[in-house]
Amino acid sequence: MDLAYLRAHPEHLPTFLTHQRIRETPVSGGDICVASRLTLDDGHSVFAKTWPEHAGRPLPEGFFAAEAAGLRWLREAGAVPVPEVVAALPELLALDWVEPGEPTPAAAERFGRELAALHRAGAPARGAEWTGFIGALPQDNTPGAGPWPEWFARRRLLPYLRMSVDNGALAGGRAALVEQVIDRIGELGGDEPPARVHGDLWPGNLLWGADERVWLVDPAAHGGHRETDLAQLALFGGAPHLDLILAAYQEVWPLADGWPARIPLHQLHLLLVHTALFGGAYADAVGTAARAALQGRRRATVDG
């Protein structure tokens, strides 16, 4: 099987893998899927993701189709590099292979400018036309045309708060803090037209390529708020050269006044996803972000 054959007949890929007709090398692929590098007969490589047999839960319907739709939509903007979808099947996803490199200041600055261009490509509405997932969890992409804060509270905060309470990860004071954020969301979040966002842009979903560019992978793409992507870049240790990324972004499309105070609000979504998926290990981070979001609004009111 060469790349041309795979593009023409992607449905044959599982059979070739089952019969070990393609060289398969395990690679890092995140916490949800099993990832491998497939080396084809013509020397090309592709990156493949499959649902692990030991996951303890069935493969959600439309899981890989949703990721493929998001990748294609982000790629259509012609802004940030996004791997091309080679095969999107119910049981696997195969993408063009991107040779990894090291983070550099030049790549960070270019990425900041390109991310601003991606966001500026916009979206017809908040949400998306395809079923959404974030990690292994469903994400409600029901399109909405109203103000962003109310949409964010209903589609991005409340569902994962409920999951986190139900699984015992959040209780008492921390859950009450998130409820306060949801109740006061109209005061906390600055409204903007929908941007074309990655939606799960923690630093692990940046692929620093050998071509001195930053590639976007593993999206939960939708029409959202551009500050959400930027806030997520600061989570879990922060992206390399984050100061350069933000400075270059601001040169292309300056952020609205008060955006630093809104960072915890935008981070709260992904932190709640972590308590819903992984349990109480992230409960303190959720409480800290919710408290900071509420305090950030109070500081803004005093300063104003």
Q: In Å, how far from its chain's centre is CA 82? A: 13
* Residue 146 predicted with pLDDT over 90: no
Which pLDDT tens digit goes with each residue over 166-191? 999 999 899 999 999 999 999 998 89
What rounded mean pLDDT belongs to the chain? 94
Q: How far apart are CA 97 and CA 128, in angstroms?
A: 26
Alpha helices in the chain (DSSP H): 3-8, 13-18, 63-76, 105-120, 148-152, 158-166, 172-183, 185-188, 226-232, 242-252, 259-278, 283-303
Q: How far apart are CA 61 and CA 273, in angstroms?
A: 19
The pLDDT confidence band at residue 303, using thresholds 50, 70 and 90, is very low
- Considering the entire predicted model, what is its pTM? 0.94
At 268, list the tokens.
């709260």
**Buried b / exposed e along 54-69 (16+ C-beta atoms within 10 A):** eeeeebeebbbbbbbb
Q: Check: CB of residue 143 under 8 Å from CB of residue 125.
A: yes
Sketch out the chain's domains with CATH numbers: 3-11+19-96 (3.30.200.20), 105-301 (3.90.1200.10)
- For residue 155, the model assigns a pLDDT of 97
Q: Check: CB of residue 67 under 8 Å from CB of residue 82.
A: no
- For residue 55, the model assigns a pLDDT of 62
* Residue 97 predicted with pLDDT over 80: yes
The pLDDT confidence band at residue 298, using thresholds 50, 70 and 90, is low
- For residue 52, the model assigns a pLDDT of 87
- For residue 1, the model assigns a pLDDT of 86
- For residue 54, the model assigns a pLDDT of 63
Q: How far apart are CA 214 and CA 226, in angstroms?
A: 18
Q: Which of 53-57, 112-116, 148-152, 299-303 has the lowest mean pLDDT?
A: 299-303
* Residue 202 predicted with pLDDT over 80: yes
* Residue 299 predicted with pLDDT over 50: no
Q: Check: CB of residue 201 under 8 Å from CB of residue 246.
A: no
Between residues 234 and 24, which one has the greater pLDDT? 234
Q: How far apart are CA 207 and CA 217, in angstroms?
A: 7
* Residue 19 predicted with pLDDT over 80: no
- For residue 51, the model assigns a pLDDT of 92
